[in-house]
Structure 1
Amino acid sequence: MALLPRLRQLMRRPVSASRVGARRPTGAARRGDTLHEDALRSMLGDDPNDEKAFVALAEIVRRRAAEAVAHEDPLSGHAEEAVTADRDAERQKAADLAVWSLGEELAGNPRAWYPLVEVARLSVRDDPEGAARRLSTAVERDHSGRALVAAVGLLRQAGRPVEALNLGVGHWRPKEHDPEVARELVLAALEADRPGEAKQHIAALDLHPRQRAVADLRTELQALVARAEGSPAGGSPAGA
C-alpha cells in the first residue's frame, strides 16, 4: 500500500531539532485535530518529554494513518474475511509506523528522551539492538533517572531482565536519580533469578540523600526479595 512506503521514507529522513513543533500540513486532518495537533507540537517543542502531550499527539497521527489505510481500495484476490484481516493488520502497522516517525522527529531535540523510549517500545521485539541503542541514548540525555526507570521497565516487560540490569547498573546514580530505579532493578534481578544482586540494589538506597523518602520503598523491596527467596524456584516477584 502506498501509505507504508511513505511512512518508511519519513523514518529514514535525517531529523532536525528545528522541525520539532512544526505543523504537518495534511488535507485529510480533521479540523479539530489540526488545532489540537499544533498546540501539542508547541508543547512538545517546549518540553519534548511531556508524556501526556506525546500520547495525545501519537493518538492523532495513529488514527490518521489507520484511517488512510481504511480508505484505500479493498485488496483483490482475497475472501472478504481475509481482506478484513489484512486491512486490520495494515492499519495497525501504519499506525505504529506513524508513531515511530513522530518519535524519531521529536528525538531530534537533544533534550528528548521520552520519544526515544516510545520508539524503542515499538522496536524492542523486532530490532532489539536498535531498541537498546535508543534506550541508552535516552538514559544519557536525562539526569533525573526518569528515563532509566522507563528504559529498565520496558526491557523487563519485553522479557529481557538481564539486559535491563546491564543498562541500569551502568547508568544508575543512587544519590541523584529517582529512587524508583531501585524498584525496577530489584524486579529485574528477581526475574533473572539473582536475589543477591537484588539485595545489592536495595543496599544502594542507603546513598540516597532523603532517607525518609525511600524508607517505605526499601521495606517493600526487602519483602519482595524475602518472598522470592522463600519460594522453591525464586518465584515471580509481586508487582512484576
Structure 2
Amino acid sequence: MKLEIGYNHDFEVRNEVCRTTSGCEFTVLYLSDLHLTRFSGPTVRRLTDTIARLNPRVLLLGGDYADGPKGFAYFTQLLEAVADREYVCVIPGNHDVFFGVQKLRRLVEAHHLVWLAEQPVTLCLDGHRVQITSTVASDRAEAVDFRILCLHKPVDITAVSHQYDLAFAGHLHGCQFVFWQSAKGLFPGRFFYRWNRLKATVGTCLYLISKGLGDTLPVRYNCKRDVVFVTVQALHTSPSLTAL
C-alpha cells in the first residue's frame, strides 16, 4: 500500500479484452479525470508518450480536464499531440463547466476532433460500423456492428445493457483511498458508490470504470491512477459439423 501526495505520480495502463461475435477487431483507450494544473507538465508528457506507445485505434477522453488556466493550457497541448490520430472523441465532465463547456467544445473542434454531444458518431473500422455515444438510450435504431458508451459519471446501465457491447466511465477516482478491494469493488468507497469498482459485466456489456489520472485534492492511498486500454477481439466459433 502506498500514500501519494501531490502531482505527477505515475499511472498504470489497465489492459482489458472485450470479445465480440460481430467480427470487429480494434483497440480503444479511455482516459478521464486529468484535473491538470500548473504542475502537470510531466503528467501530460508521460500521457502523450503512453498514447503513442499504445497507439489505440480509438481514443476516448472522458472529462474533467483542468483545474486552472495553466492546466487548461496543458490540456490544449495534449489535444495538439493527438490531433493527427485517426479517431479521437471527447466528452465533458462536471468540472469542465468552470471553464465553459462551449469553450471546451470549440477547442476540441478546432483540433478537428469529435465532440460527442447528444448524437452518436459512427466510425468505419475495417469495414465494420462502430458506434460511440455519450448518452444512455433504451433503443438504437441504426444497425451497427459494435456499440460503445462513453460516460463521465457512471450510471446504472442494467436496463439498457443490451444496447451496448462496451461502456466506460470515470468520475469516482476510486474514491482516492482504497483499504481493500474485491470483485465487488474498491472499499470503503464501494459502500457509498455502487460503481466504485474496476469493472463489471452487465448483461452482455463490459463496463469499465477508470480511477482517473488526477485529483482536485491530490491525495491518494493505495489507489493508483490509470488509463484503460481495451483490445476488442472477434470471438470465432467453430464451424458446425455436417452430418454424413
**How high is the TM-score relative to the length of structure 1?**
0.29
**How high is the TM-score relative to the length of structure 2?**
0.29
Which of structures 1 and 2 has the larger relative contact order (alpha carbons within 8 angstroms, sep 6+)? 2
Q: Which has the higher helix share?
A: 1
Q: Which has the higher strand share?
A: 2
Q: Look at both structures and tell me which one has the larger radius of gyration over its CA atoms.
A: 1
